Amino acid sequence: MLEIDALAACLSSPACLVNQTTTGLIIGMLLFLVASGVTLIFGVLHVINFAHGSFYMLGAYFAYTAYITTGNYFVAAAAGALGAAICGIVFERLIISRVYGQNVLMQLLVCYAFILIVDDLVKIIWGAEYLSMGIPAEFRLPPYRIAGGFVPPFYLFMVAMAVIIGLGSLWIVTRTRFGKIVRAAAHNASMVSALGIRVQLYFAALFGLGCALAGVAGALAAPVRSLTPGMGLGILVESFIVTVIGGMGSIPGAFLAAIILGLTRSIGSVGFPLFVDGAMFMIMALVLIFRPTGLLGQGTLR
Amino acid sequence: MNLLREFRRDIAIAAVALLVLVAIGLGVDSPWPRDFLTSFFAFGLLAMSLNLLIGYTGLVSFGHAAYFAFGGYAFGLLMQWNGFTESLGAAALPAAFVAAIGGTALYSLVIGAICVRLTEIYFAFLTLAFQMFLYSVILSAVTITGGDQGLMGGIPRPPFLGIDLADPHHRYVFCAVVFMVCILIMRVVTESPFGYTLRMIRDNAQRAAFLGVNVTRVKLICFVVSGSMAGVGGVILALFTSGAYPEWAFWAQSGEAIFMIMLGGLNVFVGPLLGAVALRVLNDVVQMYTSHTEIVIGAVILFVVLGLRRGLLDFALDWWVERQQAKLAATNREDDKR
């Protein structure tokens, strides 16, 4: 099961190390974007959006269509984010907002229903076959060579985008007026609405923001992964693992955990290819046993 | 003996139900009712065992199909292992049955020990995560489990004690008896003092802890019992299909089981069974008209959850209670007039 030789060979060769680290980073960044959306929505609205993977999928498909029609990747990425945000707001207003404060069972069921419907709709609109977008024209440049390893420019763009968007959403929530109102409403919604603020609008907007993060992740993933109905589930489960390891409600924690998981995945695929999933779950179980609040969690939410 | 006396009504009902099921299966000439009912036994056990967690204990598990699949795969793999069947001879099948349930119990003990301490939301998504882990193990361990093709080559079913499970009639009666025994066990669990402890934990875990209940331990026991019962369902399905398939461990299977409970009714013991039948019928009917069953099922779920807000039997129960109260009020009014 363990391929020590391959692992040692990779760790001692700078080229392989660079390749695996960049792969790990882009996996980690996608996870981070999805997980920070989950954690943002949970932190404020106290619902777990089990349908979050669907917004990742929608973002990817919207970006695909926008790229095919316009040929511009930046437009495509924006379309992915915006489309996911709009779908998220509709989902929040029509469905999820009706089960706020109810037990988890109801939230789970409506999310399950939503996943079924969206997966089937995607199948009807885009077909059940694998779609692939390919590296967009803007990024068809020769890869950078760093210490013998190859780093495609698109990977750098992905990492930079993820970091900027992650920092941006952290800034929105902690520093802006919008973030302050939303956080206040999370503590005491009736008090905030008594101050003349339409709390529902803010909740919907925040839900949309969380879904936009998933949509961007989908749009960023579209060129490097194949698109298929049901693609959201894998990343949803991994982003749950990220939130558990990083600590629920902590965006920096999600960042740290996402990088740990991404590197585990990429280096593990060399050293223990059959045990990559197992390793992720082992890390999660260890965190749960020894530090149940997560690496950077505040520990009050559980 | 005490148990027999206390539950004699339930035992009598179960015996009558079993007779009816056997009569339907053996009396009708076509295999259709037998096949329908056998898969109903399997999924009914899945839903009923999940309701032990969700309805009685308030533990919303989103990964219950993992134990269902584990039971099925464990049973299938043991029966396909030549060393096992040869050394045990005629006793191989019952031994594999018991070992599969025991293995499922052990597996749910490990997962449960990690999960039951957590709050609702963590519990729901960790059970989902562990289920997807099992799913990915099944898919990647191609040499053992056959990967996405499932456990191929058929599961041998050697006769034991005069019971030949390769014969569809024998198999049907065997599955019906196993199913009924499991339902009875769950009935005993839910109506015993232990079952009331579960309800107390659901309603107020802190209070239960103050009264000296070891909440974590009780939850864990319930988790293991429920996991094992789901494992029995998996074994029945493996016997029936003579194989085991990765879809059994897929998250959608768990979602379906949760919906069966919701559809049938959370607060009535046999609600999940009605839900299992209703969902199956719904599926079959929708499939006659369109291949996009998922959209329709999704819409029905939304309607039941957001519109009715309770299951069919819950609805019936509420209606009955309301009618009784209305009657009572009416007689009271007449008395006042006089």
| CB within 8 Å: A124 and B292 | yes
Cα separation, A154 vs A263, whole angstroms: 18
Contact criterion met (CB below 8 Å) for B68 and B234: yes
Cα separation, A148 vs A14, whole angstroms: 7
Stretches where chain B sits below pLDDT 70 are: 1, 338
| CB within 8 Å: A109 and B298 | no
Looking at the structure, do residues B244 and B115 belong to the same domain, yes or no? yes
| CB within 8 Å: B259 and A112 | yes
Contact criterion met (CB below 8 Å) for A189 and A51: no
Contact criterion met (CB below 8 Å) for B253 and B246: no
Q: What is the pLDDT of residue A300?
A: 46
| CB within 8 Å: A117 and B62 | no
How many CB atoms are located within 10 Å of the residue B61 CB? Answer: 33
The residue written with tokens 């060399």 in the block is A270
Looking at the structure, do residues B158 and B274 belong to the same domain, yes or no? no
Q: What is the pLDDT of residue B171?
A: 82
**Angstroms from B296 CA to nearest CA on chain A:** 8
Among residues B202, B320, B214, which one has the least CA distance to residue B266? B202
N residues, chain B: 338
User: Where does a domain end: B187, B220, B249?
Assistant: B249
- Structural domain boundaries enclosing B133: 2-249
To the nearest 10 degrees (0 to 180), the angle between helices A153-175 and A14-45 is: 30
Bridge partners, B160 (sequence order): B163
| CB within 8 Å: A109 and B297 | no
Per the structure block, which two tokens stand in for B101?
A: 């349930």
User: Where does a domain end: B217, B249, B281?
Assistant: B249
Q: What is the pLDDT of residue A122?
A: 92
Per the structure block, which two tokens stand in for A245?
A: 């390891």
Buried b (16+ CB within 10 A) or exposed e, B225-264: bbbbbbbbbbbbbbbbbbbbbbebbbbbbbbbbbbbbbbb
DSSP A42-107: HHHH----TTHHHHHHHHHHHHHHHHHHH--HHHHHHHHHHHHHHHHHHHHHHTGGGGTTS-HHHH
Looking at the structure, do residues B53 and B163 belong to the same domain, yes or no? yes
Looking at the structure, do residues B124 and B199 belong to the same domain, yes or no? yes
| CB within 8 Å: B126 and A240 | yes
Interface residues on B facing A, Cβ-Cβ cutoff 8 A: 54, 58, 60, 62, 114, 117-122, 124-126, 128-130, 132-133, 136-137, 140-141, 251-252, 255, 258-259, 262, 292, 294-295, 297-299, 301-302, 305-306
In a domain, A251, yes or no: yes
Looking at the structure, do residues B235 and B163 belong to the same domain, yes or no? yes
Q: What is the pLDDT of residue A66?
A: 92
**Angstroms from B2 CA to nearest CA on chain A:** 36
- Structural domain boundaries enclosing A160: 4-134+150-290
Looking at the structure, do residues B239 and B274 belong to the same domain, yes or no? no
User: What's the domain count of chain A?
Assistant: 1
User: Which residues in chain B are contacts of A50 at CB distance < 8 A?
Assistant: 62, 124-125, 128
The residue written with tokens 């107390």 in the block is B200
Nearest to B114 among A42, A50, A288 (CB): A288
User: Which residues in chain B are contacts of A38 at CB distance < 8 A?
Assistant: none
In a domain, A178, yes or no: yes
The residue written with tokens 């749910």 in the block is B108
Chain B residue at shortest CA distance from A248: B122
Cα separation, A136 vs A37, whole angstroms: 25
Residue B162 per-residue DSSP state: T
Q: Residue B52: which CATH number?
A: 1.10.3470
In a domain, A300, yes or no: no
Stretches where chain A sits below pLDDT 70 are: 1-2, 298-302
Looking at the structure, do residues B125 and B274 belong to the same domain, yes or no? no
User: Where does a domain end: B214, B249, B284?
Assistant: B249
Contacts of A174 (CB under 8 A, 6+ apart): none
Q: What is the pLDDT of residue A298?
A: 65
User: Could you tell me if the ipTM is greater than 0.85?
Assistant: no
Nearest to B133 among A48, A95, A277 (CB): A277
Cα separation, B221 vs B201, whole angstroms: 13
CB pairs under 8 A between A and B: 110
User: What's the domain count of chain B?
Assistant: 2
Contacts of B187 (CB under 8 A, 6+ apart): B7, B10, B14, B269
Cα separation, A105 vs A39, whole angstroms: 19
Q: Residue A208: which CATH number?
A: 1.10.3470
Looking at the structure, do residues B235 and B298 belong to the same domain, yes or no? no
- What angle (nearest 5°) sits at the alpha carbon of residue A30, between those of residues A113 and A4? 115
Mutate to test the interface with A, among B114, B262, B305 (most CBs of A within 10 A): B305
Contacts of B57 (CB under 8 A, 6+ apart): B198, B199, B201, B202, B219, B222
In three-state form (DSSP H/G/I as H, E/B as E, the rest C), the secondary structure along B171-238 is HHHHHHHHHHHHHHHHHHHHHCHHHHHHHHHHHCHHHHHHCCCCHHHHHHHHHHHHHHHHHHHHHHHH
| CB within 8 Å: A277 and B140 | yes
| CB within 8 Å: A117 and B119 | no
**Angstroms from B67 CA to nearest CA on chain A:** 18
**Angstroms from A122 CA to nearest CA on chain B:** 11
Looking at the structure, do residues B109 and B25 belong to the same domain, yes or no? yes
